[in-house]
Amino acid sequence: METQKTTARKQAQAADIGVVGMLRWALRQLTTMRAALMLLLVLAMAAIPGSLLPQRNQDPGAVATYIEENGALGEFLDAVQLFDVYTSVWFSAVYILLMVSLVGCILPRTRQHWRAMRQDPPRAPRRLTRMSAHTTTPLSDATTTRTQEELLDRAQALLKGSGYRTVRADDHIAAERGYLKETGNLVFHLSILVTVVIMAAGGLFGYYGQRVLVEGETFSHSLVSYDSFTPGTFFDADGLADFRLTLNDLETAFDDEATGSQFGQPRKFDAEVTLDTAEGTSQFLLRPNEPVRVDGSRVYLIGNGYAPVITTRDADGNVTYSGPVVFLPQDGVYTSTGVLKVPDAQPDQLGFGGVLLPTVDRNDRGELISSFAELRNPLLVMDVYRGDLGLDTGMPQSVYQLETDTLEQLTDTDGTDLQLVMQPGDTAELPDGLGSVTFDEIKQYAALDVLHDPVQVWMLPAMAMLFGGLALSLFVARRRVWVRVSGDQVEVAGLARGEDPRVEEAVEEIAQELALDSPQPSSTSASADSEQNTAGK
């Protein structure tokens, strides 16, 4: 009866470990290598929505459009922060858990590895035949004349020459090699942690922004000059690099000779830019993936398109707007859409929503389409609206969208919706004394991405550590070897610490080398184990 009570009490104590015990158990589970790998996989999967859905910090207009077009689904995705993936609570939680798990894996394993490297290889067990690799080789007549001490000296020299750490016992040599395997494993996981920290530091202290620059325009590097700007948490505006970038010319080329899916593919995007800094003026050729670097910032060419130059006048001929209007490409043949807002128009504000066709053509249904991306036969089609553009309400608006709820679409003399169809150089008169519109010319624009990551320079060493540690953990084999000499035979045994398909071969070659009458280890023994000779040092 007493025994049953004791057993029940112990079971109750084991079941009720308390809050502290639960926390300890959770920490032990979190700091396992399995948990670290699972969190790394979860982090990679969590980043997928960030590449599939528009992100608010990159394109808030696209996010607003997506939510508007998808209704309840868009609102739900916004509620769970799928439009702010990389700053969301759940992504940050996975990120922090991964760092805690990596630190919890690395520290105790490093301590254990350090102790193992300082310890002598374990002595030989009494029965070497129980090892996974074992052989007994009789000594030759010439070798049997040597004393046991001489044979053990020779065995120790042979093992040391092959990169083993050795220890001498009375009747055997104990050796071990391959410590760099665990070292490489630790370096690999440490480099992952370092990479995560570098990425986090880059997000905290860096910034990135976008700017659309039309040919002939100059971008002065300041906060007000960006179309969109995302600073890091600890970003300091005083740290912005002082430079000005002018887009002199943008040359594009599209393939009109290829067939199939390659027809019309872009082949050349070259932007001739002038960079003005405190040190002077320089000319650069800006291409995709070939950024201009200035004071730690990188300016990338990430896109291009067309900007029709439009001039509007009121009934008295006064210019109410004149300049390029950025149109965004919608497909591979650069069918582009854009919006022009003229708040200074008289007597009513005007809004234009247009489609630019670089090479106009007609499809089988007789509809106007673009058949090629180059400006071979451009045509601009615009709808015209009058009324209140809503620019004075204080509510932010996208420059690429026209809010038509408070606007009235102009109609033609026959009562149909007015639609302006214009080529470069054309001028169209607007009804009701609203003035005129002139389509002057078409310029090209470059979409620029400006990135600044003050710790990016450390990413290359971190990657070198990662691949170096991975190579060591994959290609270095860790094993233990014992050599015992007794009478007229030599007994060699090996034990693999992990995957080591060559342990049996290595044991056989060591035994054969010791059985030969050779004063020095031959080159055969040095090559018997071609894995890094310094693996155990």
pLDDT digit string, tens, across residues 286-331: 998 899 998 888 999 988 999 999 999 999 999 999 999 999 998 8
Report the CATH fold assignment for 120-178+477-528: TATA-Binding Protein (3.30.310)
DSSP string, 148-191: HHHHHHHHHHHHHHTT-EEEE-SSEEEEEE-HHHHHHHHHHHHH
φ/ψ of residue 447, rounded to 5: -90, 120
Stretch 228-238: mean pLDDT, rounded?
84
CB 348 within 8 A of CB 389: no
What tens digit of pLDDT does each residue of 41-78 get?
888 898 888 888 888 776 776 787 788 888 889 899 98
pLDDT of residue 4: 60
> How far apart (Å, rounded) are the C-alpha atoms in residues 391 and 351?
12
* Residues whose CB falls within 8 Å of the CB of residue 535, separated by 6 or more in sequence, listed in order: 163, 177, 178, 179, 180, 181, 476, 477, 478
Stretch 240-254: mean pLDDT, rounded?
92
What tens digit of pLDDT does each residue of 204-218 get?
888 888 999 999 999
Instruction: Work out the mean pLDDT of the chain and round it to a whole number.
Output: 85
Name 443's bridge partners: 307
pLDDT of residue 531: 40
> How far apart (Å, rounded) are the C-alpha atoms in residues 213 and 241?
18
Stretch 245-255: mean pLDDT, rounded?
93
* pLDDT-based confidence at residue 143 (cuts at 50, 70, 90): low
Q: Which H or E run includes 287?
A: none
* Residues whose CB falls within 8 Å of the CB of residue 441, separated by 6 or more in sequence, listed in order: 308, 309, 424, 425
Look at residue 537 and tell me whether its pLDDT is greater than 60.
Answer: no
Helix (H, G, I), strand (E, B) or coil at 9: helix
Q: CA nearest 235: which of 271, 267, 209?
A: 209
Q: CA nearest 213: which of 441, 449, 452?
A: 449
> How far apart (Å, rounded) are the C-alpha atoms in residues 103 and 111?
12
Stretch 227-242: mean pLDDT, rounded?
85
> How far apart (Å, rounded) are the C-alpha atoms in residues 225 and 51?
27
Cis peptide before 454 (omega within 30 of 0): no
Bigger pLDDT: 148 or 168? 168
Look at residue 339 and tell me whether its pLDDT is greater than 90.
Answer: yes
> How far apart (Å, rounded) are the C-alpha atoms in residues 403 and 400?
10
Stretch 428-434: mean pLDDT, rounded?
91
Bigger pLDDT: 272 or 196? 272
> How far apart (Å, rounded) are the C-alpha atoms in residues 194 and 99?
9
Side-chain half-sphere CA neighbours of 120 within 13 A: 10
* pLDDT-based confidence at residue 516 (cuts at 50, 70, 90): low
Look at residue 384 and tell me whether its pLDDT is greater than 70.
Answer: yes
Name 207's bridge partners: 231, 452
CB 293 within 8 A of CB 412: no
User: 14-23, 251-260, 427-436: which range is least confident on average?
Assistant: 14-23
pLDDT of residue 461: 92
